Amino acid sequence: MEEQMANEYASPLPPIHQMAAATLTDDSDSSIVPWCQFSRRVLIRSIVCSPDGGASLAGQNVTVGGWVKTGREQGKGTFAFLELNDGSCPTNLQVIVDEKVAPLGQLVPTGTCVYVEGVLKKPPEGTKQSVELRVEKVLDVGTVDPAKYPLPKTKLTLEFLRDFVHLRPRTNAISAVSRIRNALAYATHTFFQKHGFLYVHTPIITTSDCEGAGEMFQVTTLLSDTEKLEKELKQNPPPSEAEIDAEKLLVQEKGEDILQLKSAKASKEKITAAVAELTRAKENLERLEERSKLKPGLPEKDGKIDYSRDFFARQAFLTVSGQLQVEGFACALSNVYTFGPTFRAEHSHTSRHLAEFWMVEPEIAFADLKDDMNCAEAYVRFLCQWLLDNCLDDMQFMVENFDKTAINRLKMVALTPFERISYTDAVKLLEKVTDKKFENKVEWGIDLASEHERYLTEVIFKKPVIVYNYPKGIKAFYMRLNDDMKTVAAMDVLVPKVGELVGGSQREERYEVIQKRILEMGLPLEPYDWYLDTRRYGTIKHCGFGLGFERMVLFATGIDNIRDVIPFPRYPGRADL
């Protein structure tokens, strides 16, 4: 038995170059189906997405695993058809199981997970499949009770699926979105690594507000500590004054006992024992006095909450951006980027807002606003081309089910140079619009609304637009003040469908100017003292931007609600799982 187990688990991995080569057999030899390196199966994508749809693979023995999209018994229950999908692509593999191989009733319900071994066969003429799997052995089954399974095979709305966040990846729509999201993340790292950027992990917990808007989630243990204390005090109330007075009297008596022993020239052992009793009495009195000070509620000092008693010994928050921290690395390591979750405690229920979302934030050393715009444009166009080159099957699914223009929109952005226009000129263009009545008034000094941004991209220019040099009053303190003293060197990349996709700026590197800007915004200097050090010591010209990752997925897929393009959406009133 031990020898058999040793053989089972001791199969060595092939050399790394062979492992890499194995993953390329999909492209290098379409007649050999590649097996997964770390599970004993073949991806369905490797079969059905081969150039001929898998026809040339007929005759090969394979093992596949996946979830039944639809299943039905045929031939009066003598065999069953299963449409199997393992999440590797939008296309299903048709699987045929004979009643002699396994009980068909447990295989056909939607959602059932099956792990099967069999032979790939060419189906009869006239069928839409190029290849199908004839099962010879069922290795494992994850059964489903069809009466209780919450995702029936009827078409389901994305809104309905939000109530089943843990199961919705099994649907065609969410699985396609997940693969597109994955492709965009991979493309993000590819782009910045290719251009020499260093990936930096910035903190999720911070003590400074990057945007200065104050819409931050506070991180504290004071509430849980207070709840624990209240529960403890309820079970074990603090001592009364009488109990403390009694303990004080006991301490006094123990002290007098020692004096009497010493005057009576008692033995050393008796005196030592008496001293030990006095020490225990004093310690008990100290504990009682400490407990008497305990009061329910948050700790206070000078009439305010005492955050020195908190976990981090000061106020702390979930980050709204990793920009300020990554700037420190740009001022030492040149070009860097961060890619991680950010948080806004904004009570918004629109289709464009989440409480938790992901941001891509590069920072470029020795660069100005023009360099910033060039980088942002190149990055967005790279993402679009990447999806066209690597995710076309999923994009075709989006075209067929959500947005007929999705692929054409990607092509347009990938191939078209972006328009560049100053904020002042953009406002002038919008003020002249007569064929549309905007809900939000257009005037110099306002922050452009989504309707304004989309009108610029979809109607006036019919392509992506970069708007730059915004009024300083509507932008963050860290953006470089222009010579006109009214605008800052900021830029936004606007795209059809979603409006603002990227926001960036040249950073204010002048110490006196940025210090003044912080005070003008009504922010305290102390939390930003570390940030000002990057201006005090060896300051450099630098710039950067942030791309809202979910907005990029929205733009690519054509899906309407941002809650449907993130795996686990968090928004006011909802934080499932």
DSSP string, 35-77: PPSSSSS--HHHHHTSTTTTGGGTT-EEEEEEEEEEEEEETTT
Q: Which amino acid is at 319?
A: T
**Model pLDDT for residues 520-537, shown as the tens digit of each residue:** 988 889 889 999 999 999
**Model pLDDT for residues 466-485, shown as the tens digit of each residue:** 999 999 999 999 999 999 99
162 found inside a domain? no
70 found inside a domain? yes
Same domain, 506 and 530: yes
Counting residues of the chain whose pLDDT is more than 90, the rounded percentage is 71
What is the model's pLDDT at position 294? 72
Q: Of 133, 149, 165, which one is at a domain's C-terminal end?
A: 149
Lowest mean pLDDT across 288-302, 432-446, 554-568: 288-302
What is the model's pLDDT at position 225? 76
CA angle 175, 181, 185 (to 5 degrees): 145
Mean of pLDDT over the chain: 90
**194 pLDDT band (50/70/90 cuts)?**
very high
CA distances from 538 to 304, 354, 369 (A): 38, 38, 20
**266 pLDDT band (50/70/90 cuts)?**
confident
Instruction: Identify which of 551, 182, 94 has the alpha carbon closest to the alpha carbon of residue 394.
Output: 182
Phi, psi of 28 (to 5 degrees): -80, -30
How many residues can be counted in the chain? 577
Residue 56 and residue 50 in contact, taking contact as beta carbons nearer than 8 Å: yes
Residue 18 has pLDDT above 50, yes or no: no
SS3 199: strand
How many domains does one find in the chain? 3
Counting residues of the chain whose pLDDT is more than 70, the rounded percentage is 94
**Model pLDDT for residues 77-96, shown as the tens digit of each residue:** 999 999 999 999 999 999 99
What is the model's pLDDT at position 467? 98
Residue 355 has pLDDT above 60, yes or no: yes
**6 pLDDT band (50/70/90 cuts)?**
very low
> What CATH code is carried by the domain that includes residue 466?
3.30.930.10
Query: Cα 400 vs. chain centroid, distance in angstroms?
Result: 27
Higher pLDDT, 8 or 293: 293
Classify the C-alpha dihedral 183-188-191-197 as positive or negative.
negative
Residue 213 has pLDDT above 70, yes or no: no
Same domain, 128 and 74: yes
Residues with Cβ within 8 Å of 519's Cβ and at least 6 positions away in sequence, in order, are 525
List the structure tokens of 515.
């210090």
Residues facing 339 on adjacent strands: 360
Lowest mean pLDDT across 175-189, 264-278, 434-448: 264-278
Distance between CA atoms of residues 203 and 322, nearest Å: 7
SS3 434: coil
270 found inside a domain? yes
Can you tell me which residue has the tokens 């406002």? 427
> What CATH code is carried by the domain that includes residue 16?
2.40.50.140
Same domain, 101 and 63: yes
Phi, psi of 116 (to 5 degrees): -130, 160
Same domain, 123 and 205: no
**400 pLDDT band (50/70/90 cuts)?**
very high
84 found inside a domain? yes
What is the model's pLDDT at position 211? 67
21 found inside a domain? yes
Residue 19 has pLDDT above 50, yes or no: no
What is the model's pLDDT at position 29? 55
Residue 517 and residue 477 in contact, taking contact as beta carbons nearer than 8 Å: yes
Residue 221 and residue 311 in contact, taking contact as beta carbons nearer than 8 Å: yes
161 found inside a domain? no
Domain limits at 63?
2-149
Residue 507 and residue 327 in contact, taking contact as beta carbons nearer than 8 Å: yes
121 found inside a domain? yes
Same domain, 31 and 64: yes
What is the model's pLDDT at position 30? 54
